[in-house]
Amino acid sequence: MEELKGIIRRKNSLHDARKERRKGLVPGVIYGKNINNLMFEIGEIELNKEISVNGEHGLIDINIDGNQHKGLIKEVQRDIVTHKILHIDIEELTGNKQIISDVPLMYMGEDFVVRNGGVLQKNKNSVKVQCMPERLPKYITIDVGNLYMGDSYRIGNVELAEEITFLEPIDTIIATVTQGNTQTKDTPSESSEDSNIMVSEE
């Protein structure tokens, strides 16, 4: 994990934040037990690179004006059109303690469901876990390649290391296979067939 360089941000107006983004800097805030909402700015390119490696809920090392911080990314705000990072929230980690974080889900095998005429209804895009910082996964793989119509995938079906604990009930449904639309554009409906008959009689 590469240490990122940040600088303290003195002002907190919307105008100033937009100006810094045009300079290629992303505004952020780091908070925790020993730090009170420290506002900073960090290079957008470096931040994107780190997030691509560790994920949007991963760990991050950041040096702000010479002070080192180890943190957990709590929220990444993005522009809904350009997907550029607008703001980042970081929780500072202190001591050798377990952390609580949302971990994204990565679905695999969805093509199998579709080939069998089903539709995968995804109920969750992430799950909440508790573990030591170094054990936090970037994502959790959900293999739905053996699910058939009416089957459900629950948190209890996920295999994780013993050091990681789910903070949601094990019977929580992650995804369900439902009936797909079997009618195609090439198959005429009953109403269209009746309409054709009426035209022929005229």
pLDDT tens, 8-38?
987 655 556 566 666 789 999 999 988 888 9
Residue 158's identity, in one-letter code, is V
Q: What pLDDT is attached to residue 176? A: 95
Please indicate whether residue 185 or residue 117 has the higher confidence score (pLDDT). 117
pLDDT at 110: 93
- The band of 200, judged by pLDDT with boundaries at 50, 70 and 90, is very low
What confidence score (pLDDT) does residue 23 get?
75
User: What's the pLDDT score for residue 10?
Assistant: 75
Mention the CATH class of domain 3-95.
Answer: mainly beta
Q: Which helix (H) or strand (E) holds 115?
A: helix 110-115
The pLDDT value given to residue 95: 81
Average pLDDT over residues 93-111: 91
Q: Sort strands 25-32 and 67-78 into parallel, antiparallel or unpaired.
A: unpaired
Count Cβ atoms within 10 A of the Cβ of residue 135 and give its class: 0-12 exposed, 13-18 middle, 19 or more buried: middle
Distance CA 99, CA 114 (A): 37
State the pLDDT at residue 1.
67
pLDDT tens digits for 146-189? 999 999 999 999 988 889 999 999 999 999 999 876 444 444 44
Contacts 24+ apart (CB under 8 A), 112-116: 112/144, 112/145, 112/146, 112/147, 113/144, 113/145, 113/147, 113/177, 114/180, 116/148, 116/149
Pick among 2.60.120.10, 2.170.120.20, 3.90.400.10, 3.90.190.20: CATH of 101-179: 2.170.120.20
The predicted structure's pLDDT at residue 86: 93
Residues in contact with 179: Cβ distance below 8 Å, sequence separation at least 6, in sequence order:
117, 118, 119, 149
CB-based contact 174:108 (threshold 8 Å): no
- Domain ranges in the chain are 3-95, 101-179
Q: Average the pLDDT over 101-110 and give the result.
A: 94
The two domains 3-95 and 101-179 share their CATH topology (first three levels equal):
no
